[in-house]
Structures are given as C-alpha cells and as structure tokens.
Amino acid sequence: MPSLTFVLPDGTRRTVEGKAGLSVMQVAMAEDVPGIVAECGGNAMCATCHVYADAATADRLPPVTDVEDEMLDSTASPRTSSSRLSCQVDVEEDWGDTTFVVPDTQL
Amino acid sequence: MTTVIVGAGHGGVQVAASLRAEGHLGPVVLVDGQEDFPYHRPQLSKEFLGPGAGAAQPLRSRSFFTDQEIDLRLGTAAVALHPAERCLEFSDGRTIGYTHLVLALGSTVRNLQVPGVGLDGVARLATLTDAARVRKRLATARHVVLVGGGFLGLEIAAACVGAGRAVTLVEPQDRVLTRAVAPAVSDAVQRAHTQAGTVLRLGTGVERFVGRNGRIQAVILADGSEIPADLVVVAVGALANSGLAERAGLAVDNGVLVDPWLRTSDPAIFAVGDCASHPDRERAVARRVECVQNALDQARHVASTITRGIGEPYDKVPWFWTHQFDLRVQTVGLGFADDVCVVLGEPDEASFSVCRFHHDRLVAVESVNRPQDHIAARRLLSRRLPPDLPEVGSAGFDLKSHELSTRGAA
Ligand SMILES: Cc1cc2nc3c(=O)[nH]c(=O)nc-3n(C[C@H](O)[C@H](O)[C@H](O)COP(=O)(O)OP(=O)(O)OC[C@H]3O[C@@H](n4cnc5c(N)ncnc54)[C@H](O)[C@@H]3O)c2cc1C
Ligand code: FES
C-alpha cells in the first residue's frame, strides 16, 4: 500500500493510505488533509491543490506536463522546483512511502 | 447565533467550511433538497459522461461535516421563509430559527416550451441524478441532439462525440457561445466541434419533439428539418433559484439582489453564487454569475462578514473554465456586447487570448490554450491596474511579461 505523509504548515504530519488510481489531491480531500483547497476539482485550472514533493518523493513522480507547468506559475505560495499540482499526480501502487509538504496558503 | 445555509452546493458548503475556518463557534445548519452527498458539478457535463468514469467527486469527505460540527441535512428542502420571524420552514414540516441565513440556492436549467418536451429521452443536466440518467441513456443511444450552444451544451456534445455517438447541436443564434465569449473564441470552439464530427445547426430553433410510445424519436427544427434522436439534452441557459426569496418578499431581479457585502434586502440574510445578483465591478449594473469561483469567493466573503462583521465590499474578479476536446478555455472578468476586442496570439492554431475593453480599460480576457495569459490577466485585473487599449494593441505586447514588469506597481 502506498503511504502519503502530508506535512502541514504548522509542522504536524498526517500519514494516510494512498489508493492507486486516485490523484494525490483526491486522497488528501478524502482524508480531510487541511490546506488542499482544490477549487476546480482536479482540472488543472485553479492551482489551489499545490504541494511540494520532498526530494525522495519527487523522483517517483511523473514529469510535470505543460499544462501543469503553466498553472504552477499561479500558485499562491511561491513555486519551487519541487512544486506540483496534487490533482495532476496519480498515486502508484509501488510508491512506498511518500512525503508532500502543504504550502502556507493556496489562495 | 445559529447560521442556517440553504443549498449544499459549491457555495453553501464553502460558507459552512469558511465559518469554521474563521473560528465561528455557533451552530451551523446546512440543508439541501437533494439526497446526494455534496459533489463537484463541473465534471458532470465532462469526464463524468465519458467511458469508464466513476462516481461524482465529493466536495468534502463525510467526516469533514461531523468533525467541523456542521449539521448537514440532506433531502431537506426549504419551502418557506419568514424574514420578520427569522424563521425557515422545511419540506418535512420542521422549522428553524436563525441569526444569519445564507441562500446558496444555485440555478436551474430553463424549460423549453415546445411540444414533446415531456417525452422519455428528453433530458436536462443540472444535478448528479440528471447526469447519471444521461450517462445511462448515452450508453445505448445512437443519435444525440443537444439543444443550446452554451458551455453546458457544448461540453455535453463533446462528451457524446467522444463516446462515439452521432451528435447534432441546435442553436438559434448564428454562432455558439454568443452571450458568453468573443467571436474569435466561439469560432475556435465551433471549429473543434465540427472537426470532431458534431453537426452544428445554427440559426434555427427547435419546433417540437416527436416520439413513439412516449419515447423520443426525432427533433423537428423551425426550418422544417427533422433530426433523428434517441437522446436529447436541453441546455438553454439557467434561471436563478430565487422563488424562496421572492415569496418571502426579498428584492429579486434575475436573482436575489444583494448589496456589495452580499446582503439581501434583509440584512440578516445573505445570498451567494448562482442565485445572487450583485453589483458589477466595472459598470453600474447588477450581474448574476454562474461559475465555481464566484460561488466560493462569495461564500468566503459572507463567512467572514458573519464572523467578523462588515469589512471590505466583495470585489473578486470572476473566472471560469471549460474544456472541450483539446481546447482549454479560461475566462477572467466579464465582458459586455459592446466591448472593443484585441486578439493576442494565434487564433488559427487555437492558442490565443481575446482582451476586452470598456472605454479603453481592460475588463475581461478570454483565453484558449493560453493559461499563461489567463493567469497574468487574473493578476492584472485583481490589482485593478490593467493595461489600457493602446498598450495591449502595441506590437509585441504580451500579458505575462506585462504582468511581471508591473509587479509592485500596485
Ligand atoms: C453540469 C455543470 C457543469 C458546470 N461546469 C462548470 C465549469 O466547468 N466551470 C465553472 O466554473 N462552473 C461550472 N458550472 C457552474 C457551477 O457548477 C456553478 O456556478 C456552481 O455550482 C454554483 O454554486 P452554487 O452554490 O451557487 O449553486 P449549486 O452548486 O448549484 O448549489 C445549489 C444547491 O441548492 C440546493 N437548493 C436549491 N433550492 C433549495 C431549497 N429550497 N432548499 C434546499 N436546497 C435547495 C440545490 O439542490 C443545490 O444543491 C457547471 C454547472 C453544471 C450544472
Ligand atoms: S484541483 Fe484545481 S488545479 Fe488541482
């Protein structure tokens, strides 16, 4: 079972079980992870599902697509090289343990 | 200090969530006439209709409502409102008193008043129940007819073509999306649909629907032509669900009228989202906006007013998206028919933006496959320092570079 740890802005960590086929955003919403807003419901249209993938996790993720890349330019918290739109990243069965940092603000 | 919210769609759920996020401690009651657990609507006319699509996406998890102590009552319609007594009546006969009431009632697809509209197989798509019904019919339908060339009708047409059906779209205007976007954008959308195989019947309306044994068989157009159909979806625009407010004596005019703080004519009652008609940012008119962003931002604003008292007036720039085939259309701001339009980019390659001006002021930008323009425009319009017409019209102008170069100027 892939496991997803979300590091919240206040430093607390929430570890939840991931399900292959769901996006990281969908897992976070289903588990009430605070700080993931996801206004557009996963269409890469709002950039309010922004997360930072930690270094070890980033290697396991699919590359950023053009659309994701352009929408990442509009995140409310600063974009870094580890920024992803969590709705554009699907959980994979063989991920193992992954860690995503939730930004301070999405709006 | 009970807050009652009527309507658990995008707006209503956000009011409840934001009240708690703002630290509001009083009871929060959120009711909806529908039985379905609150869900995202935009997918219903897009991915949800496609092959292999799963369930609707919930707006929040079930535990969210319990953890946040939001008293969610589904299958509970509000049937009467008594502002003087600050009391609301429900379909189950119960009543509730409120300190603040928020109307987040949404809108409903307009009825088409033509013979045969009641035939089996003539559907509309506003709720999850509707969408599930359309999806089921689509599985066996061969000929689908969409009535209405707005965003909704076009999205459904794209989904039906994607499912391999023969699709005809009927629109009485001479192009699609006439009210919504500039001609360049509607041209691009039209081209994509035509290329995908949708037959567009523009400039003619539906005369009547004909069927056999109560089931739809064909659509007869005003020009006399007959289109075979075993599924028809009517998407001819929406009307605000303002009946509850109107019967209660609140001011209503194409939606529940609200002031710049989203208060109705009774200051204890707010209205947000599709059902509310609020003062336009640019012109002295009331506007009703149907998009997710508008419902969410208005909801946040109302939650803040209820928790902290009157602050700044509501002043968000509306933005909207749709995607059809490989077109991602994003709009920000609201245009009027008499705007002056400047096109940036490559319309022939379906990668461009239309900048709309009112008295030389940029008021809206409609982008096709140009997210960078859309994002820049959102920032420029929010900061209220948009470029003027001569600037945008000058050679080599680019929204993103302009936005970067003017940062900090506000
Ligand atoms: C199929 C579809 C596709 C869309 N696609 C997009 C898109 O791509 N992008 C975009 O930005 N917007 C889109 N929209 C528009 C967007 O969904 C709406 O603007 C948004 O849902 C408005 O939120 P709301 O809270 O005002 O109303 P809604 O979300 O419609 O919620 C209103 C709720 O009020 C309830 N209600 C009404 N009257 C009563 C009563 N008397 N008692 C109790 N409950 C009541 C209704 O049951 C409903 O659940 C789409 C809409 C639809 C239907
Ligand atoms: S949910 Fe909107 S961009 Fe991810």
B123 lies in the same domain as B232: yes
Q: Which residues of A touch B63 (CB under 8 A)?
A: 32
B258 lies in the same domain as B352: no
Confidence (pLDDT) at B337: 87
In a domain, A80, yes or no: yes
In this structure, what DSSP letter does residue B230 have?
S
Element (H, E) at B13: helix B10-21
B266 lies in the same domain as B341: no
User: Which CATH number do you get for residue B123?
Assistant: 3.50.50.60
Domain that holds residue B231: 111-236
Nearest to A39 among B60, B292, B379 (CB): B292
In a domain, A52, yes or no: yes
Number of compact structural domains in chain A:
1
Domain that holds residue A72: 3-101
Task: Say whether B72 sits in a helix, a strand or coil.
Answer: strand
Nearest to B42 among A30, A32, A41 (CB): A41
In a domain, B315, yes or no: no
Strand order in the sheet with B70-74: B70-74, B28-32, B3-6, B100-103, B269-271
B336 lies in the same domain as B301: no
Task: Say whether B171 sits in a helix, a strand or coil.
Answer: strand
Q: Which long-range contacts (CB under 8 A, 24 or more apart) does B86-89 make?
A: B86/B268, B88/B4, B88/B6
Residues 6+ apart with CB under 8 A from B118: none
**Which atom of ligand 2 lies nearest, measured to the CA of A85?**
4
In a domain, A76, yes or no: yes
B118 lies in the same domain as B103: no
ipTM, two decimals, is 0.93
Cβ within 8 Å, pair A40-B323:
no
- For residue B375, which ligand has an atom nearest its CA? 2
Please return the burial class of B51, using the count of CB atoms within 10 Å of its CB with bins 0-12, 13-18 and 19+. exposed
Per-residue pLDDT for chain B (410 aa), expressed as one digit of tens each? 899 999 999 999 999 999 999 999 999 999 999 999 999 999 999 999 987 778 899 999 999 999 999 999 999 999 999 999 999 999 999 999 999 999 999 999 999 999 999 999 999 999 999 999 999 999 999 999 999 999 999 999 999 999 999 999 999 999 999 988 999 999 999 999 999 999 999 999 999 999 999 999 999 999 999 999 999 999 999 999 999 999 999 999 999 999 999 999 999 999 999 999 999 888 889 999 999 999 999 999 999 999 999 999 999 999 999 999 999 999 999 988 889 999 999 999 999 999 999 989 999 999 999 999 999 999 999 988 889 999 999 989 999 999 988 887 65
Of B183, B205, B236, the one marking the end of a domain is B236
Please provide the average confidence, as pLDDT, over all residues in chain A.
95
Is the CB of A36 within 6 Å of ligand 2?
A: no
Task: Say whether B47 sits in a helix, a strand or coil.
Answer: helix
Is the CB of A28 within 6 Å of ligand 2?
A: no
**Using N-to-C axis directions, what is the helix angle for B292-308 and B10-21, rounded to 10°?**
30
B128 lies in the same domain as B208: yes
- For residue A49, which ligand has an atom nearest its CA? 2
B46 lies in the same domain as B69: yes
pTM: 0.96
Structure tokens at B37: 């657990």
Task: Evaluate the CA torsion angle B172, B176, B181, B186 in order and state its sign.
Answer: negative
Confidence (pLDDT) at B221: 98
Q: Does A18 touch chain B (CB under 8 A)?
A: no
B115 lies in the same domain as B211: yes
Confidence (pLDDT) at B409: 61
B367 lies in the same domain as B272: no
In a domain, A57, yes or no: yes
B95 lies in the same domain as B69: yes
When computed from its CA atoms, the radius of gyration of chain A, rounded to whole angstroms, is 12
For testing the chain A interface, which of B68, B375, B383, B403 should be mutated: the one with the most A CBs within 10 Å? B375
> CA–CA separation, B3 vs B21, rounded Å?
15
> CA–CA separation, A51 vs B22, rounded Å?
23
Of B201, B221, B236, the one marking the end of a domain is B236
Q: Does A71 touch chain B (CB under 8 A)?
A: yes
Q: Report phi then psi at B376, rounded to 5.
A: -60, -45
Distance B240 CA to ligand 2 centre (A): 27
> CA–CA separation, B193 vs B393, rounded Å?
30
The count of other CB atoms within 10 Å of the CB of residue B75 is 13
Number of compact structural domains in chain B:
3
User: Which CATH number do you get for residue A82?
Assistant: 3.10.20.30
> CA–CA separation, B129 vs B151, rounded Å?
20
Query: Is beta strand B107-109 parallel, antiparallel or unpaired with respect to B215-221?
Result: unpaired
Interface of B with A in 207-236 (CB under 8 A): none
CA dihedral angle for residue B212, residue B218, residue B220, residue B226, rounded to 10 degrees: -120
In a domain, B318, yes or no: no
B231 lies in the same domain as B279: no
> CA–CA separation, B149 vs B252, rounded Å?
27
Amino acid in position B256:
V
As averages over each run of 10 residues, the pLDDT of chain A (107 residues) reads 95 95 95 94 95 95 94 93 97 96 95
Element (H, E) at B305: helix B292-308
The count of other CB atoms within 10 Å of the CB of residue B139 is 11
Contact in structure between A101 and A4 (CB atoms under 8 Å): no
Task: Say whether A26 sits in a helix, a strand or coil.
Answer: helix
Element (H, E) at B238: strand B238-240
Of B203, B236, B269, the one marking the end of a domain is B236
In a domain, B313, yes or no: no
B167 lies in the same domain as B53: no
